[in-house]
Amino acid sequence: MDNIDNFIGNQHLAPVSKNYLDNICPATGQVYGSIPNSDEADLELAIVAAKRAQKSWAQMPSEQRSDILIKIAQLIEQNLEELAQAESLDNGKPISLARSVDIPRAASNFKFFAAAASQFASQAHHMPNNAINYTLRQPVGIVGCISPWNLPLYLFTWKIAPALAAGNCVIAKPSEVTPKTASMLGKICQQAGLPEGVLAILHGEGKTIGNLICQHRDIKAISFTGGTQTGAYIATQLAPQFKKLSLELGGKNPAIVLNDCDMELTLNEIFRASFANQGQICLCASRIYVQREIYQDFKRALVEKAKALMPADPANEQTAMGAIVSKPHLNKVLGFIERAKQSGATILTGGEQVKLAGRLADGYYLQPTIIEGLANEHECNQQEIFGPVVTLTPFDSIDEAITLANDSDYGLAATVWTKNLANAHDIAEQLQTGIVWVNCWLHRDLRTPFGGMKQSGLGREGGEEAMRFFTEAKNVCIKYT
């Protein structure tokens, strides 16, 4: 059994209550460890430790903070294999993906914000009548970072790294569904020389410890990534406290494929955008709109590719599609497919749970699924499914495609596929999403603003945006005559 503990004051501590939750391996459906079911008492320990560390961490020269973050990145790289194995076991993602994407990106997050710590600057505004304003950018204090299960260490570090770089103490909570690599990060931070109390990692359920972190008066900002419903609830709770809040929420991402696209590139990338990580990436394509002239050819080729993708043991090097993260999530995704069938949709491929043999017999596997023939109002085109399920819909004009794409409560990301860059610019300008990728998907530059419009979130992460979120701006005006 793999039992993990909280990380408080650079120590791995059992929860004060001694209550634990099961940790289940999605590939086998079996309990393989336990995690603390943390509560107020654990949070208070973390707050006391953070208060002790706060001043010296905030006042540490940024170069020294930066050195510690670089050391954390290096240790993540040195432990890449062990972290990748843990991520794959905990989440069900293919080991190849954890090795090539999740863990390298966690290291990049620390490297990137190590540089930001030493280069972040503020503005000065000179006034004509002998006065000058300068802006101080001060750490917020103690901040809370809460992350989801789909890219566990990748998204956990995407929040923690900028918060630390800006001089804050952090109380972080990974998803209770995928706690393992977060717990390993604690040890790495300790080895890298992060001072005691600067980072606490508390495990447990959202409705208990997550909620307590959000509500705590000494925690001055919350950076949250997760579902839209959870984000909405947190926003209502925090509004009366006027707490700084960053929300990265769900998506229902359209892909617009024009007649003049590079067919091979588009098929390969849309296939990846649809099914990578079992379709459990907030940025995955979920509504694919294809211009009528190439619709049948595109459909045939995409279905053929999907048919060849079979879920298999995530631990196997060759596996391209692993397990769905949990049983409740698998049932949720199957529910959408069932209701699409009942609505008269055509399941072009997939749609069924997969039973693997031997120790994987109780794991959560689902065929990649492509659905055709649903109206844009159907829940499969409106609600986030967050699994290996996409819908295909033909369109005639570019205006029609933009209308269909924007007909959504969500506004996270979109992709556009065309060789005509004038059309691409025009469409990108009109799409109501925080991110538009043209002829590519998930091509990330960490300096760019990351986040969504509408019900996909509030605020932006990445680069300067994150450093600004994790600091308070203070204007100082000096009159010098």
Q: Are 89 and 27 in contact (CB under 8 A)?
A: yes
The token pair that represents 98 in the structure block = 């954890």
Tell me the window of 3-11, 27-35, 115-123, 142-150 that interacts with ligand NAD (CB under 6 A).
142-150
Burial class (CB in 10 A: 0-12, 13-18, 19+), 127: exposed
Candidates 114-122, 228-236, 302-310, 361-369: pick the segment binding ligand NAD (CB under 6 A). Answer: 228-236
Choosing from 248, 269, 384, 461, which is the catalytic residue?
Answer: 248
Q: Is 440 a catalytic residue?
A: no
226 counts as binding ligand NAD under rule CB under 6 A: yes
**Are residues 140 and 106 in contact, defined by beta-carbon separation less than 8 angstroms?**
no
Q: Is 463 in the site for ligand NAD (CB under 6 A)?
A: no
Contact code string over 399-418 relative to ligand NAD, x by CB under 6 A:
-------------x------
Q: How far is the CB of 307 from ligand NAD (least distance, A)?
A: 27
Task: Kindly tell me which residue out of 234, 288, 312, 360 binds ligand NAD, with binding defined by CB under 6 A.
Answer: 234
Please report whether residue 233 would count as binding ligand NAD according to CB under 6 A: yes
- 387 part of the interface to ligand NAD, by CB under 6 A: no
Which CB, 124 or 440, lies closer to ligand NAD?
440
Of residues 250-269, which lie at the interface with ligand NAD (CB under 6 A)? 250-251
State the catalytic residue, choosing from 25, 214, 282, 284.
282
**Are 182 and 164 contacting, i.e. CB atoms less than 8 angstroms apart?**
no
Could you give phi then psi for residue 24, rounded to 5 degrees? -110, 140
One of 227, 349, 423, 428 touching ligand NAD (CB under 6 A) = 227
What are the CA-CA distances from residue 154 to residues 174, 316, 413 (Å)?
A: 11, 21, 18
Nearer to ligand NAD, 295 or 364 (CB): 364
- In angstroms, the CA 416 to CA 397 distance is 14
By beta-carbon proximity to ligand NAD, the closer residue of 351 and 452 is 452
Near ligand NAD by CB under 6 A: residue from 112, 113, 149, 295: 149
Residue nearest to ligand NAD (CB): 206
Contact set for ligand NAD, span 154-193 (CB under 6 A): 155, 173, 175-176
Size of the site for ligand NAD (CB under 6 A): 31
248 is catalytic: yes
Which residue, among 382, 97, 395, 401, has the nearest Cα to 253 in the 3D structure? 382
| Amino acid in position 33 | G
Instruction: Assess contact for 366 and 311: CB atoms under 8 A.
Output: yes
Minimum separation from the CB atom of position 77 to ligand NAD (A): 23
For 226-232, the CB contacts below 8 A with 24+ separation are 226/146, 226/147, 226/148, 226/175, 227/148, 227/384, 228/384, 228/410, 228/455, 228/456, 230/206, 231/457, 231/458, 232/455
Q: Is 449 near ligand NAD (CB under 6 A)?
A: no
- Report the 10 Å Cβ neighbour count for 368: 27
Binding region for ligand NAD (CB under 6 A) out of 52-60, 125-133, 242-250, 387-395: 242-250
CB 369 within 8 A of CB 354: no
User: For residues 253 and 291, which CB has a smaller minimum distance to ligand NAD in the complex?
Assistant: 253
On the CB side of 199, CA atoms within 13 Å amount to 34
Question: What are the catalytic residues?
Answer: 248, 282
Q: What residue ranges bind ligand NAD (CB under 6 A)?
A: 146-150, 155, 173, 175-176, 205-207, 210-211, 214, 225-227, 230, 233-234, 248-251, 282, 384, 386, 412, 452, 457
